[in-house]
Amino acid sequence: MRNGVRIVLCFLSLLSILILLVVVDLQKTKERNFCYTRYNLFSYLLNTSSVIKSVPRISNDYYFSGDGIIDRGFRDGNVVFCSINDWNKAYQQIREYTDKLNIPVYYDKPKIRNNQQYLQIYKYENCLYVSYSENYNWY
């Protein structure tokens, strides 16, 4: 009986620690204006869509942004690559990736789209932005 109580207490303690780690990670991400790296494990796992997770890493200097929350039927997430050495190769890798997707892809300046899902790719302040949006209220 005592072993069962110890196991339950141990499990509850571990669960509490895990919940605390998730809350702290998400709070820190919020304080950084929803910018995070793949090393902010819980923010990365909970906030990053599979489309953005699969984008090829065209630079070692990159970060993610987005809150991962579906607010009024809309969700947005980004990966931003800076310090790109070879822009032609970067665009080629991105193009090869986007050609495999079954969603609209828009290159150049960011614009509001009415599609249910879409990917935007644009250069801003010498960084390459890959932005994925989902609109759940699209008819």
Instruction: Output the six-digit token pair for 61.
Output: 């200097």
139 or 11, greater pLDDT: 11
pLDDT in tens, 70-107: 555 667 789 999 999 999 999 999 999 999 998 888 88
Separation between Cα atoms, residue 57 and residue 20, nearest integer Å: 30
Q: What is the mean pLDDT of the chain?
A: 80
Task: Give the predicted TM-score (pTM) of the model.
Answer: 0.72
Closest residue by Cα to residue 121 from 32, 30, 92: 92
Q: What's the pLDDT band for 135 if we cut at 50, 70, 90?
A: confident
- Specify the pLDDT at position 10: 80
Cβ atoms 81, 97 nearer than 8 A: no
Query: What residues form DSSP beta bridges with 120?
Result: 106, 131
For the chain, what are the domain ranges?
3-135
Mean pLDDT in residue range 49-72: 82
- Specify the pLDDT at position 138: 47
Mean pLDDT in residue range 21-39: 69
